[in-house]
Chains A and B, each alone.
Chain A
């Protein structure tokens, strides 16, 4: 230890590595490149991970959709192929019977999933927008950002079946003049006037919905299109600690029960589980992270082997010098330690430079991808990875340094001196 802390030791090391600058620089570049790849790759993987994460944080990760389809099995006197229809009462049943459900939002739509779009206009302006009939609970499952001054639908809107609408940015742009205040303005939906109460911000990373979506209260939608208690589909969020797949199964079974569907009929209700998809993507991102670790470490290894190789050559070049040192009283241990320390020193310096360069590159990429649609946010390399890389470098640097060091001390000083 005293040897490592001794200033003289370092002077010896600086002396010998600054002796051949080109050799040192090339050696350093080898490892620098390795650690750079490692940092850049694992940072990028982390960035992608974060990107996916933020993409899904818009929508509750444990949310799902349930919709009705056609039966595929006869049951209790019903023949096969019966068209199913979700009803408002189902939501109450689900909420009461399945405790893991945190929020349930029955939804209806016009102008989406192939249904005829409503005619929506304002004065002589018009456009085509999907129209949703919604409950306030919907924003608990898929949060909507509302511009200042506006609001989303509330319980009063539902209770009184108010003719109010929350419109998208595109709808605002196309239906209102520039600079015109949309809040309080009126738009015409299938010949009925609706007051705009909010403009929602379109979030690209949300992945669902669009920038033109118009939301009106579920009760108003029902009156407008005479849909009774029919529901297009349910958006459901389970509690964070619930097993989404299990909850999904329970809900489907309950619905089958309510609607007299054969328990084995898989076709009657369709569902889509975001949690499961999310887990798949997380698994994919983990795979990428793992791959980048492997590639990075392999590259570091290649770089360190390069250091060993160059040190081996340099030991050969310095045979005579090492012989002189030993004639002057350097013990084999001192010679060996010096060469190992040279190796470790070069590796660590290269490593630190590589880490700095890698971090700078990550920051640059982060800046460049800030405003484009790419799942890439805040690419950071976890500190344990960095420390791990440094430890790997020190260990590998020592091990690889052992080879030239052993070679250096295996030459007898007399042979070293004789070599002219």
Chain B
């Protein structure tokens, strides 16, 4: 599903240049649930941004579902993001003047899906995350966990190839974190490919594979026995 070859990325800070990713190689197969771990500054967010086409690598190859991702202009990147990727952010990033349903329907709006179908689909995904009754509530009427579940529904709504989650539990307490992870595991069980960036060990162990980044290189890439989050809920 995702193929990365010798990926380099550096940031220019005035005269200095900061080499963040120093030649990464890995691949993710369909249906995997991968955790990317590392301390801050290890390059995990940069990697996620490149995978999410929000940022571009300096050199190296990136293939997503057989499509080489390179030389993207903003319009093309937007189309690819819309078609291939679902984003889950640490701070949820829901649009605060739109109801839960409208938030979930937003990616479909950019796919030019007609309104009726958009709403039907939004309701379908909201009920999948257990928030059907909250469809018409604004984000500030929801708890943190509920917000993240809405965000997950939104990421799912476009039926992307890969879900990218950037510290999805970073802003949540442990109980809610486990609920969210339980949801992510269930979505993965349905065959969806999910990438989770986290620095929490317990969250990482709820994935099936952990890729450990340190100073821009992969220091460890191992399969783990998945801890089911449902037992903590």
CB of B125 closer than 8 Å to a CB of A: no
**Contact: A328 with B81, CB < 8 Å?**
yes
Interface residues on A, range: 20 to 34
User: Whole-angstrom distance between the alpha carbons of A413 and B115 in the complex?
Assistant: 26
Query: In the complex, which residue of chain A has the Cβ closest to the Cβ of B95?
Result: A321
Residues in chain A near residue B87, CB distance under 8 A: 327-328
State which of A62-70, A158-166, A330-338, A382-390 sits at the interface with chain B: A330-338
CB of A61 closer than 8 Å to a CB of B: no
Q: Of B74, B93, B115, which is within 8 A of A417 by CB?
A: B93
Tell me the smallest distance from the CB of A126 to a CB of chain B, in Å.
84
CB of A409 closer than 8 Å to a CB of B: yes
CB of A12 closer than 8 Å to a CB of B: yes
Residues 311-334 of A at the B interface (beta carbon under 8 Å):
320-321, 323-334
**Contact: A414 with B110, CB < 8 Å?**
no
User: Whole-angstrom distance between the alpha carbons of A412 and B79 in the complex?
Assistant: 15
Residues in chain B near residue A328, CB distance under 8 A: 81-82, 87, 106-107, 110, 154, 158
Query: In the complex, which residue of chain B has the Cβ closest to the Cβ of A9?
Result: B109
Residues 70-129 of B at the A interface (beta carbon under 8 Å):
74-75, 78-79, 81-83, 87, 89, 91, 93, 95, 97-98, 102, 106-107, 109-111, 115
CB contact under 8 A between A329 and B107, given known A15-B98, A413-B54, A417-B54: yes
Residues in chain B near residue A15, CB distance under 8 A: 97-98, 102
CB contact under 8 A between A326 and B49, given known A320-B93, A417-B54: no
Query: In the complex, which residue of chain B has the Cβ closest to the Cβ of A335?
Result: B78
CB of B145 closer than 8 Å to a CB of A: no
CB contact under 8 A between A324 and B49, given known A12-B109, A329-B82, A417-B54: no
Tell me the smallest distance from the CB of A17 to a CB of chain B, in Å.
10
Tell me the smallest distance from the CB of B41 to a CB of chain A, in Å.
15
User: Whole-angstrom distance between the alpha carbons of A7 and B112 in the complex?
Assistant: 12
Tell me the smallest distance from the CB of A420 to a CB of chain B, in Å.
7
Residues in chain B near residue A324, CB distance under 8 A: 93, 95
> Helix, strand, loop or mixed for chain B's interface?
helix
Query: In the complex, which residue of chain B has the Cβ closest to the Cβ of A332?
Result: B74
Residues in chain A near residue B154, CB distance under 8 A: 328
**Contact: A16 with B82, CB < 8 Å?**
no
CB of B201 closer than 8 Å to a CB of A: no
**Contact: A417 with B89, CB < 8 Å?**
yes
Residue-by-residue, is A389-420 near B (CB-CB < 8 Å gives 1, otherwise 0)? 00000000000000000000100111001001
**Contact: A409 with B74, CB < 8 Å?**
yes
User: Whole-angstrom distance between the alpha carbons of A324 and B97 in the complex?
Assistant: 13
CB of A178 closer than 8 Å to a CB of B: no
Tell me the smallest distance from the CB of B62 to a CB of chain A, in Å.
15
Tell me the smallest distance from the CB of A325 to a CB of chain B, in Å.
7
Residues in chain A near residue B43, CB distance under 8 A: none
Query: In the complex, which residue of chain B has the Cβ closest to the Cβ of A16?
Result: B97
CB of A371 closer than 8 Å to a CB of B: no
Tell me the smallest distance from the CB of A103 to a CB of chain B, in Å.
74
CB of B58 closer than 8 Å to a CB of A: no
**Contact: B115 with A7, CB < 8 Å?**
yes
**Contact: A326 with B55, CB < 8 Å?**
no
Residues in chain B near residue A325, CB distance under 8 A: 95, 106, 110
12 A-B residue pairs with CB within 8 Å: A8-B109, A12-B109, A325-B106, A326-B74, A327-B93, A328-B154, A328-B158, A333-B75, A413-B54, A414-B54, A414-B55, A417-B89
Q: Sort A-B residue pairs by CB-CB distance and give the 10 closest, nearest first.
A: A329-B82, A19-B97, A329-B110, A414-B54, A331-B78, A331-B75, A328-B107, A324-B93, A332-B74, A327-B87
Binding site for B on A (CB under 8 A): 7-8, 11-12, 15-16, 18-19, 320-321, 323-334, 409, 412-414, 417, 420
Instruction: Other than A8-B109, A11-B115, give 5 A-B pairs with Cβ distance below 8 A.
Output: A15-B102, A324-B95, A326-B81, A333-B75, A334-B78
